[in-house]
Structure 1
Amino acid sequence: MFGDIEKLFQVFDHSTTLIMNESNKTYLEALAETGENLFEGQVLQNLSKNTIEKLMNEYEKINLEQIPNETIRKAFQLAILKGMKEAVQPNHEMTPDAVCLFMSYLVDKFTHDKQMFRLLDPACGTGNLLTAILNNSKKKIQAYGIEFDETLIKLAYIGANLQKHEIELFRQDALQPLFVEDVDLIVSDLPVGYYPNDVVASEYELKSSEGHSFIHYLYIEKSLRHLKEGGYLIAMIPNFMFDGETAKNLHEYIKKNAVIIGLLQLPLSLFKNHKHAKSIFILRKRGENVQPPKQALLAELPSFSKKDAMKGMVRMIENWFRDNLS
């Protein structure tokens, strides 16, 4: 399988470089264009005859119809990661692949009683986490993604097309009013830092009393507002989220509006800088018949590459589901 991923990545990479060299675009912009060409089966840009020929030679090396979705996602992800090395802001880093797959597993466990559900990622970036979940679920999922960055949402759109997923994507600031009805599940790798728009932040209970508000606090409030009663939020949060004086307000807000289901600390080895380390935080929106679990799911996850340790962890999680959510 890795050979197929590598082969498809080479096609993405070579064709992207061809477009980039002739059209003075960034790697990520050119990658979106080559993805669109692949999907449409023709070169859509106004390029020289020589470049068009070279592009068509690249595209003819593969047949997307015969390539599994996960191979397409992973190859596209590798190309995006290459492009992001050029110039990337810290909050644009892609969710590690092992985490995407683990979160897909959690989604499956928390929706075990549903054949169909509505899913939202309010900070979907390139759509990698969303498509990983869609690829690894046998259920009917109505999926929505929100992203403010124009290049990232274009890549999300292209990635969804290449994998033949119907995802409704909105280019907007997710903390402003959304045109999405309440959903059953929100899954997101939350942006971290300060939110610059104090006017919008003033509409939130978790706004800061002075200066800019924490964007990760506001996203938690926004998510809980957009969940149906009893819906779940599975979010990647910074490990320092509950540190400091301001965390008191966050604790109070969560206590009032949700029940804490679990907190799973991700292995530090996933993060170049341990200051940027994250955990998976799971909340359930309060509602009729919503009871807290007998015991919250609390664990420190081992390195995903340690197979035996991971098997033991999954057994522990399976037992927790059996005892708390059956």
Structure 2
Amino acid sequence: MKSTPVELLFNEFNETAQILQGELSCTYLDALGETGENFFQGKILQEELSEVSKKRLMKHYADFSPEKYEKEAIRKAYQLAILKGMQQSVQPNHQMTPDAVGMFVSYLVGKFTKGQKELVMLDPAVGTGNLLFAILNQLLDKNIASYGVEIDETLIRLAYAGANLQEHPLEFFNQDSLEPLFIDPSDVVVSDLPIGYYPNDIRASDYELKAGEGHSYAHHLFIEQSVKHVKDGGHLFFIVPNKLFVSDEAPKLNDFLKKHTHIQGMVQLPLSMFKNEAAAKSILILQKKKEGIEAPKKALLVQLPKLSDFEATSSVMQQMDDWFKEEK
């Protein structure tokens, strides 16, 4: 059987990462970031390799050019290699937004920014870039300038190599997103929010959504930081826990959102995507307040069925299209 482009590319990324992992005595994920950059440059950037390994690697790099493949094939193959590396590493912050979620966020961003041909987009927790790449690969009718912020060096190197391989003009910042960001306000913020407590209480004290006592919720602070960094009238799309509005700090979050944004909707992702109900997530859609922009008459509230159930999914998509016709 003939291999698909995704399989062929995955094998290329995987084999070369394994060679580099052995030579550089580093993790698979670090080696994958290195090999991604080698593929893009068409040469070996690591000097300390044996001649045998250099020859083996150059066979792979010499044949590669991004133009040979669709961007989505590159994204998926690279994503599979990252997932392989993540299964080997046990760091809880190394997690990736599932493909179906990326596609769905792309659909929503496209609908809410209909008619806008030029967009500036920010992901303040960009990770490996998978969510951002999925959106950029879908919304080809728009000219999107993108920014990603990520504190983890391994993840941002993977994102950087992935952006190069897919030829996306992206600017990355390797920093704590809750420190001051030197980025112009964006039209759209997208983020698969990091969930948990933020350890830096001094920095958290600058935020309206800081906790009354103890550590603050990182995901609440990320929402506040994002609202601050989106233009008036701009949209925000967050992947959040279903239980976002039931924690002890939820009333404060609710008040903050009412004060600064219009809640456009909440799309509950299929429960089948998650290990258990406690881990289930939704897409929260906000619009920053602006003079002349009113809240929707009724928010878009839908629960997505199992995506393999074609009829139920079609029916929900129809429901959403009707909402856009009425509201927009």
Assess same fold via TM > 0.5: yes
2:297 corresponds in structure 1 to: 294
1:68 aligns with 2:78: no
Displacement of 1:62: 4.2
Are the counterparts in 2 of residues 134 and 141 from structure 1 also a CA contact under 8 Å? yes
Displacement of 1:306: 2.2
Please say which of residues 9-18 and 51-60 is displaced more in the overlay.
Answer: 51-60
Are the counterparts in 2 of residues 8 and 62 from structure 1 also a CA contact under 8 Å? no
Q: Name the Cα RMSD after superposition.
A: 1.3
Q: For 1:64 and 1:260, locate their aligned partners in 2 and report how far apart those are by CA, in whole Å.
A: 40
Are the counterparts in 1 of residues 42 and 64 from structure 2 also a CA contact under 8 Å? no
The percent of aligned pairs where both chains have the same amino acid is 51
Q: For 2:37 and 2:248, locate their aligned partners in 1 and report how far apart those are by CA, in whole Å.
A: 48
Displacement of 1:2: 7.4
- Residue identity opposite 1:155 in structure 2: L
1:322 aligns with 2:325: yes
Q: For 2:243 and 2:123, locate their aligned partners in 1 and report how far apart those are by CA, in whole Å.
A: 22
- Residue identity opposite 1:30 in structure 2: A
Q: Of residues 192, 205, 212 in structure 1, which corresponds to 2:215?
A: 212
Are the counterparts in 2 of residues 147 and 171 from structure 1 also a CA contact under 8 Å? yes
Displacement of 1:312: 1.7
Are the counterparts in 2 of residues 29 and 151 from structure 1 also a CA contact under 8 Å? yes
1:261 aligns with 2:275: no
Normalising by structure 2, what TM-score? 0.96
Instruction: Give 1:238-277 correspondences, 5 Å limit.
Output: 238-277=241-280
Aligned to 1:161, the other structure's residue is in SS state helix
Are the counterparts in 1 of residues 40 and 65 from structure 2 also a CA contact under 8 Å? no
Q: Of residues 119, 123, 126 in structure 2, which corresponds to 1:124?
A: 126
1:270-319: CA deviation from partner (whole Å, max 9, x where unpaired): 11243221100001111101111111000111122222222221111111
Displacement of 1:55: 1.1
Q: Of residues 147, 160, 164 in structure 2, which corresponds to 1:161?
A: 164
Q: Of residues 185, 194, 200 in structure 2, which corresponds to 1:191?
A: 194
Please say which of residues 52-61 and 37-46 is displaced more in the overlay.
Answer: 52-61
Please say which of residues 40-49 and 68-77 is displaced more in the overlay.
Answer: 40-49
Normalising by structure 1, what TM-score? 0.97
- Residue identity opposite 2:128 in structure 1: T
Aligned to 1:298, the other structure's residue is in SS state strand
Q: Which runs of 5+ in 1 are unaligned?
A: none
Are the counterparts in 2 of residues 144 and 167 from structure 1 also a CA contact under 8 Å? yes
- Residue identity opposite 2:279 in structure 1: H
1:78 corresponds in structure 2 to: 80
Q: For 2:216 and 2:311, locate their aligned partners in 1 and report how far apart those are by CA, in whole Å.
A: 42
